[in-house]
Amino acid sequence: MIATLLVALIALLHIYILVLEMFLWTTPRAAKAFGLKPDFAVQTKTMAANQGLYNGFLAAGLIWGLIYPLPGFAWQIQMFFLACIAIAGIFGAATASRKILFIQTVPAVIAMLALMFA
């Protein structure tokens, strides 16, 4: 139950990131979330939309894992997408902002542990 809730919350987080990156990139909300200057946001809008799409795929994978009818395979799907998120967070922390580690990687690892011990 807790593992399922954590996976669902991480899926929702990545849907929110999708919305920020694909549709709200040049707004004050995204500027605050990502520490953007307005001119930089305008210049990188297309790149951010691409990133947002990838975050949407991560969320879709987690949702697929949550609704898949065979528990063993559903577990594998969830673990795969959580691992992808954790690795992406490590890369983002190393290349963009250290806070990504705490926003993406730490929750993904906690959810993976919850799945392993569920």
In contact, 112 and 11? CB cutoff 8 Å: no
pLDDT of residue 56: 98
* pLDDT confidence band for 12 (50 / 70 / 90): very high
CA–CA distance from 61 to each of 1, 8, 21, 33, 47 (Å)?
19, 11, 18, 24, 22
| pLDDT one-digit tens code per residue, 23-60 | 999 999 999 999 999 999 999 999 999 999 999 999 99
pLDDT of residue 97: 92
* pLDDT confidence band for 92 (50 / 70 / 90): very high
| pLDDT one-digit tens code per residue, 62-89 | 999 999 999 999 999 999 999 999 999 9
Rounded CA-CA distance 89/105 in Å is: 5
Task: At 27, give phi and psi (nearest 5°).
Answer: -95, 160
